Structures are given as C-alpha cells and as structure tokens.
Amino acid sequence: MSLALIAALPFLGALTPALTERFGRSIATGTVALFTAAALLLILQHVPAIVAGQTITTQINWLPTLGLNANFRLDGLALLFALLILGIGLLIQTYACFYLDASEPYARFLTYLMLFQGAMLGIVLSDNLLLLLVFWEMTSLSSFLLIGFWSHLPQARQGARMALATTGAGGLAMIAGMLILGHIAGGYDLSTILGQKAAIQASPLYLPALLLILLGAFTKSAQFPFHFWLPHAMAAPTPVSAYLHSATMVKAGLFLLARLWPVLSGTPEWFWIVTSAGLITMAFAAKVALFKDDLKAILAYSTVSHLGLITFLLGLGTKAAALAAVFHILCHATFKAALFMLAGIVDHATHTRDIRALGGLRRAMPISFALASIATLSMAGIPPLNGFLSKEMMLEQAAQSAPWVIPVLATIAALLSVAYSLRFLSYTFLGPQPAYAHAPHDPGVGLWLPPALLAVLVVAIGLAPMAVAGWLVDAAASAVTGEAVHAHIALWHGLEPPALWMSLAAIGGAMVVLGLYPRLRAAWDAVPRPEAKAMFDTGMTGLAKGATALSQGLHNGSLSRGFALALASFLALGLYAYLTAPSRPGGLALTPVTFAVAVGFALMMTAALAATALHRKRLLALLLTGIVGLILSASFAYLSAPDLALTQITVEVVTIALMLLALNFLPKTTPRKTATFRKLRDGALAVAVGAGVAALAYALMTRDAIFPPISAFHMAQSLPGAGGHNAVNTIIVDFRGYDTYGEIIVLGIAALLIFALTESLLGSKWAVQPDHAAGDSGDPHPILLQNATRLILPMALLVGVYLFLRGHNEPGGGFVAGLVFAIGLVLQYIASGQDWAAARRRIPYHAMIGAGVLVASATGIGSFLAGRPFLTSNYTHVHLPPFEDFELATAALFDLGVFLCVLGAVMLALDALARLAKPQEGR
C-alpha cells in the first residue's frame, strides 16, 4: 500500500491550505511541503531496490472484470519522474511563497499546485492504463486552473483555454488509443501490456492505436504542430511555468512515449512519425526562440525545442538513444526550472521581461547573474555542464542515423540553441545598464536559493555524471528498454566522435548568427508569418458556431421536439436491427390470463388512454397516472415480484404528493395544440414506438434465451455469496451495489438542485406564486386530518423499520423503508403545514443526504481497505439467547446509506416546494 499512499499524499496536502492560510503564508507553505517531503522520503526508501533492478508494485482490485484496477508500480523510469515531480515541487513551493504578492489568493494557488502534483505523480506511478488516463485528464484540468490563476488577465484566460482545448482533445484521442492497446494485449495493466510486444505490433490495430496514443503524447508535450499552446501558457505565474512547463506537465507526453517504448518502438511507423515530429519541433522552436524578446517566451520556445530533442531520441528506437533521452530529461529539468525562476527574479527586480529593455544586470544582481550563467550555458550545451553531456549524446545518436538530413537538422537545432542561449544571457546581464525605473538588486534567499540548488546539480552532474546521476539514469533507461543498461557518461571521449565536431560547428555557427543577428532580425520581421493564436481563435470560433448550429437544430428548447427526435432515433435503430438481423419464431407458451387480471389490465389501459386524452387537465391527468401506477404495482405482485410492487407503490404515493404540490404553481390546464400536422406526427410516433416496445416484449417473453439468464447466478449466489435469501435486495446492495451507489448520489444531487432553484426563486422578485383563486376560504389544516396523520406517523415509522430490517431476506430494504418514512412525514406537511413541520425538524435534510452518501462510501471503503473490491459485503450469524439465530451483514450499513439518502432527498424536495408555496409578504 506504500505506493498508493505516496500517490494519495499530494491530494491530502491539497486539503490543507484552506485550513492553514489563516496562520500565515509560511505555515501554509510548510504544511503542503510536509506532504511533498513525506512522499519524497517514501520514494527514496525504495531507491536501493530499484537500483538493484527490482520493480515495486501495489495491486488494488477496483473493477477487475472491466480491467480497472488501482495498481501502482515503481521502476527506474517512474523513480526518475517521481524525484523530479517531488524534488522540484518542494523548490517551487518555497519559491512561490516569496514570489507571489501578498494580495494573491495563496491558499487557492497551493491547492491547485498540489492537485497538479498529485495528478502527475499518479501518471508516473500508475500500472494500469485506465488509471493512468484518469490522472492524465486531471493534469489537464489542474494545469488549466494554474495557467489561468491570474484570471483578471485576458492572456491568462486565453492561455488556459488554449492549453485545455489542445491537451484535452489529444487526451480524448489517447483514451481511444489506450482502449485499443488494452484490447490487443488482453488487459489494461502495464505489467501485462509491456510483455506483449510481438502481439501488439503484429495486430492490424497497431497503427490506429499508435496514431491515437501519439496524438495524446504530442499534444501534451507540445510537439509540432501542437506546440502553439505552450508559449501562450506562459501567462501563468512564474512558479507555474517553472514547474509545469519545464519539469513536469510537458514531460508527461515524453513519459508516456518512454513507458510504452518497449511495445510500440522498433517499427518503421514509430521511427518516421516520432523522429520526424521531434526533429521538426527541435529545429523550428529553436529558430522561433532566437527572435523572441520576452524572457519567458524565449524559455518557452526553448522548452518546446528540447522536448522535440527528447522525442527525436525516443523515436530512433535504439537503447543508446533511449539512454540519451532519459539523461536529457534529467538535465533539462534542472537547468530549465532554474532559468524560469531566474526570469521571474529579473521580472521582480526590473518590472519588465522585455530583453530589449534589459542589460547590465551583472553588477546589480551578481548572484542572479552567476546562477543564470550556469543554467544558460548548460542550456547552450557548453562544457563542463550537464547540458553539454546530454547534447553530445544526442548528436552522437543523430550522427549514426540515416538519412543525412537527420544529423544536419540536429546540428542546426544545436546551433540555434547556442545562439538563443547566449542572446538570453548577454542581453539580460551584459552590456551597459539602462535607466531602470527601480534600482534592481538580488532578491532575498527565499527566491534565489531554489534555483541555486538546481544550479549546483547542473555543475555536479556535469563534473561527475556517473557518481551523481549514473545510477538513476541506468535504472530509468533499463525500465524504458526492458533490458539492463549501463551508461558510460563522461566529459571527454577523445577527438574521434563525430558529435564533438558537430558540437564545435554548432558553437561556431552560433557566433556567426549572433554577429549577423541585426540583419537576420530585420529579415525575420519583414517576412509575414501565420499567427498560431489567430489560427486557434478562428478554429475555435468555427467549432463553436458549428456546435451551436447543430445543437439548436436538434433541440431548440422544445421538450416535445427533443422527445420526438430521441424516440424516432430509437425506432429507426430498432427497425434497422429487426430488418438486418435473423429472427426466429417464439416457442414458449403464453401465461394464461384470468378474468380478474384481464379486468385489471383493461382498467390500466383505460386510465392510460384517458390520461392521454385528458392531458390538458393537469390534476385529472395526474390522478389517472396514479391509477396506472397503482394497478402496475398490483401487477408486479401478481407476477411474483413483491419487491417491485413495494417500491412501485411507495414511489407512486410520494411522487403524486410532490407533483400535486408542484401543480400548485402551474395553470390548471395546459395550452391546446392547434397544429394538425403536429398532432398527427406525435400520434403516429407514439403508436409506432408503443407497438415496437410491445413487439419486443412479446418476442422476449415467447422465445428461448440464447444465453442463460444472469438471474440464475443471482438466485444461486444470493445466500452463499451475500448471506441473504432475498435475491433482489442482495443484487441492489451487493452484486450491483456500485450501481445503487451511483443512483443515490444522483438522487441526492437532484434534491439539492430543487433546493437551489427554490432558494433562487425565494430570493428574487420573480418568485412564482401559487395559482389560488381569489377569495379561497376554509381551514387549510383541519384538526381531524392533523390528529389522524399524527397517529399514522409512528405506525409508518415502525413499518419502515420493519421493512428495513427484513430487507436482506424478505421484500423490503433501505430504499422502500426510506420511502415509507417519507410518506409518514409527507402526511405531516400536508396536514399541519410547512411551518409546523419545519419547527419540529431536528436534522437538516442536506445533512441526511450527505450522511447517507458518507455511510455508503465508508462501507465500500471498508471492504476496499480489507483488500476486497469496493462495496464487497461480508456477513456472519450471531446467536444471543434468548433470541433466535440472526444475521449481521455489512450490506445493512450500505442499505442504511441508501435509506438516509432517499429519505433526505424526498424530504428536501418536499420542504423546498412547501416553502415556495408559502405566501411571501411583500410580493
């Protein structure tokens, strides 16, 4: 369970800022840092095992039949990313504490940051594709919140929308690809998939799965042509940029490519698609970075370029290239996160990020200059820093690749990288110092210490790569390739390697480019270029217009039209299935119908037809509908379904009472339809759909089942599997408990929505008034009705308790018991009024709904913690003299949650409508 705890710690930490902010920013930061540090320490305790070649796993069955398990794994690759996420996360938390202004909603920022941290950690630790997808989408949502944190800025809102739309669309494609991949492999656990390389690559579905997965990875990691969202995301606060867009989020796509490298790489499709995307992104983004003037924009396009470099290496498909990719992931995270934080320091000190307005800061900010020099020269690939090592490894792999365009483009990208890096450093810190509005100076230790620690890593890895990072790179590369990898990383490999000459050519070429920069810049400015933001806005506007036209064409607010379209679609699909599929006549004899049963069904059909014919008279139509429901309850009892009969009759009573109260706000009659065509259309559609449903029911009841019905399993396993004689109840609270769990949540949400709408009406001048006729008289609460209902209440409660207790073995249960309780209480509202009933209410109905959901959740979590699937029940038999032997089942606790949620939902809706019906003074 240690990996599950590690994954949960950031989410637990996200709950604390709202509680600790009142004690000061330092306490809030320290609290979330404790959760991050705890997760980091738990990760570090597994380092010896990972270095030894082991893989740590935690398996938690969730919905195993669907392949959805909460399984986690920690190997070398996950270790590398977890250390980056948590280690740099700690530094970012410290930096943000001193960076953000005192007026900023800091608690909200920390909450968003921890949610993102938890989502990223969940991605790298997931051992199940479906679980990974959940965390993947969480990163898109949490990054949307972080990028748009300064929501008062239009560019922040635009950047957040652009990031969410792009990565979200890619995520939807990736979901389809992952489902295909799991289908090919026969399971969704990575432990299963990673051993199915031959089967996956031999499958005809390999290419569709590959394209869809790459689409998700490329959008997340800003590969061309999906690169445009990352620079616009720089509108976020600098701590966000340093964390999301250098060390974590944008590397999620790279992590996915590396994680699935053992089963997807090695094919021509993988090589050409991934390598081409990486090369183009690396060279294109480096060129754009050279001509940007905003510090964060330069770093943003630089990040895109380096992401392309790593993608290119993974696309080559060789062990050496995978090793180089893993090493550069580590190196890039260290120098780029430091550079983003230093850009924020410069912005704080000078109140500008425009490189044309900067210069000469080496004297005013010597600490920042020293740190920026280390990080920038590493980004440029200058020895003896870590960026030089990983760049040399990239050039070495490019030199060994064919065709010739690969090493040429790689050298050009390296040249441009040196050029924009030196421009970044020289234009900001060298040269004459302009007249700044405020005298710049180095910040306090809280701001420069985090990038300083990263700069120390940059130098240490560069000078002693094997001692500092060799063990981690070996473990990560071994996890990527599936084979043991032993790196040999050194500063000097002699004069023979072509990478050395390519690197020298890049440095020399960069000097020429910088010398010719004014001319190159003039040419760049003179050439018209497409603007990604304008293209995105145009595309989104077109999509929005198309979606609006489609939705308005399908449903324009007319409920009858929506129903007509839906029913016509169902009818067409059913007719198509009937005409294209083979059919066979039914061989089962019909059940004989007695005279009494025939009369009952005739009455039910008569009431249904009468309700249709008299639908304009709302009250009469409601009463006729109630008659149909009561006869239907009797039919359930006749057909040996007492549970359904109990549920139907109690639902009918409660529904009629609530709808009678709702009718109080409507006119007594509905508008008359005047269009003859509409009447004919609706009538023909109703007859056709009714005939289709009747034919389907007749076919199902008269034909032998092709597959054995699942009811046989439930009947056989009701007692030995769930400890109950009533198969219906065991299905609801055990076998299909997850369905019931979702239903009670939906029921509670519906009641809360009714309450919210009522509150909105009561608080506005547009409150709806009951449709009372003028001059109404008479006692609204007759004394006889009051006394009768108060006598009925304890009996109703007793019956409800009885039905609840017997539900596991006889017809009854929490749902029916909740409705019986509700009927008893509804009668009190009807007889004595809302004021009388509300004055005697001791438990808020909102709390009752919440308690029901919590009790049901706790029951499921209890089984979950016991190592069994969610909501799995257990039971035992107890004998306490002088009582008979009786059963205790955990399902009763879940049924109690159902009871509370049903009772709370019904009463909350009733109370809301009753308060709305109460005359309001001054309206």
* Beta strand pairing call for 875-878 and 886-889: antiparallel
Q: What is the mean pLDDT of residues 243-264?
A: 88
One-letter amino acid for residue 279 of the chain: L
pLDDT, tens digit, 9 for 90 and up, residues 596-642: 889 988 999 999 989 888 888 888 888 899 899 999 999 888 888 88
Q: What is the mean pLDDT of residues 865-882?
A: 78
pLDDT, tens digit, 9 for 90 and up, residues 138-147: 999 999 999 9
pLDDT, tens digit, 9 for 90 and up, residues 837-858: 888 888 888 889 999 999 998 8
Hey, what are 915's tokens?
């308060």
Q: What is the mean pLDDT of residues 399-411?
A: 84
Task: Write down how long the chain is.
Answer: 923
* Beta strand pairing call for 68-69 and 61-63: antiparallel
339 — pLDDT class (breaks 50, 70, 90)? very high
Sign of CA dihedral 792, 797, 798, 799: positive
**What pLDDT is stored for residue 922 in this prediction?**
39
**What pLDDT is stored for residue 763 in this prediction?**
66
**What pLDDT is stored for residue 255 in this prediction?**
93
C-alpha to C-alpha distance for 833 and 915, rounded to whole angstroms = 10
pLDDT exceeds cutoff 50 at 48: yes
Contact 309, 328 (CB under 8 A): yes
- 64-68, 272-276, 720-724 — which is least confidently predicted? 64-68
- 418 vs 550, residue with greater confidence: 418
pLDDT, tens digit, 9 for 90 and up, residues 355-365: 988 888 988 89
Cβ neighbour number for residue 251 with a 10 Å cutoff? 26
For 884-893, b where at least 16 C-beta lie within 10 A, e where not — what string?
eeeeebbbbb
C-alpha to C-alpha distance for 778 and 780, rounded to whole angstroms = 6
Q: How far is CA 879 from the centre of its chain?
A: 48
- 100-109, 194-203, 871-880 — which is least confidently predicted? 871-880
Q: What is the mean pLDDT of residues 60-80?
A: 83
pLDDT, tens digit, 9 for 90 and up, residues 887-911: 788 888 899 999 999 999 999 888 8
pLDDT, tens digit, 9 for 90 and up, residues 568-592: 998 999 888 888 887 777 778 888 8
pLDDT exceeds cutoff 50 at 777: no
Q: What is the mean pLDDT of residues 534-550?
A: 86
pLDDT exceeds cutoff 60 at 923: no
**The dihedral formed by the CA atoms of 458, 464, 468 and 471, expressed in degrees to the nearest 10:** 130
Contact 905, 750 (CB under 8 A): yes
773 — pLDDT class (breaks 50, 70, 90)? very low
Nearest CA to 628 out of 642, 615, 643 is that of: 615
User: Which residues partner with 807 through β-bridges?
Assistant: none
In the chain, the percentage of residues whose pLDDT exceeds 90 is 35
Q: What is the mean pLDDT of residues 159-182?
A: 91
C-alpha to C-alpha distance for 357 and 469, rounded to whole angstroms = 39
- 763 vs 773, residue with greater confidence: 763
* Beta strand pairing call for 56-58 and 72-74: antiparallel
**What pLDDT is stored for residue 1 in this prediction?**
53
**What pLDDT is stored for residue 493 in this prediction?**
61
pTM confidence score = 0.75
pLDDT exceeds cutoff 50 at 649: yes
539 — pLDDT class (breaks 50, 70, 90)? confident
Contacts of residue 620, defined as CB under 8 A and 6 or more positions apart, other chains included, come to: 614
| Average pLDDT in the chain | 86
495 — pLDDT class (breaks 50, 70, 90)? low
Contacts of residue 627, defined as CB under 8 A and 6 or more positions apart, other chains included, come to: 603, 604, 607
One-letter amino acid for residue 268 of the chain: P
Eight-state DSSP code of residue 66: G
pLDDT, tens digit, 9 for 90 and up, residues 511-530: 998 888 888 888 888 888 77
Residue 512 host element (H or E): helix 498-515
Q: Counting runs of H as helices and runs of E as strands, what totals does the chain give?
A: 41, 6
Contact 250, 201 (CB under 8 A): no
pLDDT exceeds cutoff 60 at 919: no
One-letter amino acid for residue 318 of the chain: T
pLDDT, tens digit, 9 for 90 and up, residues 683-731: 889 899 999 898 888 888 888 777 777 888 888 888 888 888 888 888 8
pLDDT exceeds cutoff 60 at 682: yes
* Beta strand pairing call for 875-878 and 72-74: unpaired
